[in-house]
Amino acid sequence: MANETNNDLSAATSNLVNTVGTLFQQSVAVWSAAFQATIQVFEPVGKSALDLVGSATNTLGQAVQNVTSTLAPKK
């Protein structure tokens, strides 16, 4: 009888440890997938924002050159 109790307790402990381990693995997988999805969403947005800043800088530079050439004394 005592041996059966030990086996039942051992089986219950083993099942509990396996369940906790599985839950941990699944939660890590969910967080990893969420992180990757977030990166995939923001990566194109960040690239577009950088492209926009570059274009605005080029446009501003051209505008400054045009104003400077207009104001510069002609020889």
Residue 5 is predicted with a pLDDT of 67
Q: Which two tokens stand for residue 20?
A: 């906790």
Q: Which two tokens stand for residue 62?
A: 């051209």
Inform me whether the pLDDT recorded for 74 exceeds 90.
no
Question: What burial letters (b/e) apply to 40-54, b meaning 16+ CB within 10 Å?
Answer: eeeeeeeeeeeeeee
Tell me the pLDDT tens digit for each residue of 15-57. Answer: 999 999 999 999 999 999 999 999 998 999 989 999 999 999 9
Which has more pLDDT, 29 or 10? 29
The model's pTM is 0.53
The C-alpha atoms of residue 43 and residue 46 are separated, in whole angstroms, by 5
